[in-house]
Amino acid sequence: MGLVLEGVNRTVDGEVFLSDINLTFERGEFNVLLGLTEAGKTTLMRIMAGLEPPNSGRVVEDGTDVTSVPVRKRSVGMVYQQFINYPSLSVYDNIASPLKLAKLSKAEIDRRVRTEAERLGIDHLIDRLPAELSGGQQQRCAMARALVRDARLVLLDEPLVNLDYKLREGLRSELRNLFADRDTVVVYATTEPEEALVLGGKTTVLHEGRVVQHGVTAECYRHPANTTVTQVFADPPMNLMPVRIDDGQLQAEGVFKAPLPAHMRELTPGDYTLGIRPHHLYTGAGDDRVALEGRVEVAEIAGSVTYVHVEINGRDWVVEERGVHQAHPGEQFPIHIDLARAYAFDGSDSLAAAPASERG
């Protein structure tokens, strides 16, 4: 039992926001909705909540069609990117507000508010006003309000975006535990691949209003269904290069030619797109590595790694290099590919071959 979307479409003023969405979310599961901004994540959540009707299609909750049931009559909790709390009410009254509107007894409200505040670590702040809290605490208060009513559906729309790095990591690691023993459909929207991987569960990759892949998070990452997923569900995105497979050889016109790696030997000869993650490109030569050269465009130093953006035969690639390195724009940059780690996508843009297992 859970929430099922059947052929959901949403168009506003001729602009397609969602097209033919078919998804099933099970209760007790953690679902990540991953997509770039404008991919339709928020619209999809609004439709799931009943804040907005789809133009066509159905929303089915536990076997009942709830498409036209207004949000007031559903059981939904939602957390937003902004910290949404009632400004003039204390943390206690904020968390209690949905319960008061649901007309629960005073004792029951008190018990549930205190339990929820404790789970979110804000029980000592219960008498404060939202404006007297830090951003992280405000968002915890908003989360407590969304969770306290034990709604059948809990939607989190990029809830950690406005928090600073440290707070974000702290809250993110708590999130899974918060939902672990709840019989709720949880949907978490994010633009960040890393967040999806940390949260685990199932991932739905959304792109331009369409579902491009849906499945167990790690599985989606290891076996991206097409090149779109490789761009959305990886940061920096996977490097792509058109190649030709023929005669047991893998050839990228004017870049390199090498014998096929083991996992691509079964592929029928033809044109493919080669995909390789930035951390499977090396600056040093190795036994099974194919050498090629790029021209440096820019080098970004991000903590302990350096992302070197290079141009290879008109394609922009990113090389992830451990440590802090200098690379000057315009200079030649040697790259060594470990082809055993490469993906191949066929002419109709579907995954044709993936590496046997992936370490990182």
Query: Which CB, 50 or 237, lies closer to another protein?
Result: 50
Determine contact, residues 57/8, Cβ cutoff 8 Å. Answer: yes
Element (H, E) at 9: strand 2-12
Minimum CB distance to another protein, residue 141 (Å): 12
Edge-to-edge strand list for the sheet holding 289-302: 281-282, 332-338, 289-302, 305-312, 315-322
Determine contact, residues 226/212, Cβ cutoff 8 Å. Answer: yes
Minimum CB distance to another protein, residue 156 (Å): 13
Tokens representing 36 are 């770039």
Distance CA 336, CA 3 (A): 46
Minimum CB distance to another protein, residue 360 (Å): 37
Minimum CB distance to another protein, residue 273 (Å): 40
Nearest Cα neighbor of 59 from 113, 140, 5, 20 is 5
- Interface residue list for another protein (CB under 8 A): 46, 49, 51, 71-72, 76-78, 80-82, 84, 86-89, 97-98, 101-102, 129-132, 142, 145
Give me the amino acid identity at 77: G
SS3 labels along 32-53: EEECCCCCCHHHHHHHHHCCCC
Minimum CB distance to another protein, residue 135 (Å): 13
Minimum CB distance to another protein, residue 226 (Å): 33
Long-range contacts of 44-48 (CB under 8 A, 24+ apart): 44/5, 44/8, 44/18, 44/206, 45/78, 45/155, 45/157, 45/187, 45/189, 47/5, 47/8, 47/10, 47/18, 48/3, 48/5, 48/153, 48/155, 48/187
Determine contact, residues 50/155, Cβ cutoff 8 Å. Answer: no
- Residue 303's contacts (CB-CB under 8 Å, 6 or more residues apart) are none
Minimum CB distance to another protein, residue 79 (Å): 9
Query: Which CB, 130 or 275, lies closer to another protein?
Result: 130
Query: Which CB, 22 or 88, lies closer to another protein?
Result: 88
Query: Which CB, 10 or 46, lies closer to another protein?
Result: 46
Query: Which CB, 53 or 215, lies closer to another protein?
Result: 53
Q: Which DSSP string corresponds to 99-140? A: HHHTT--HHHHHHHHHHHHHHTT-GGGTTS-GGGS-HHHHHH
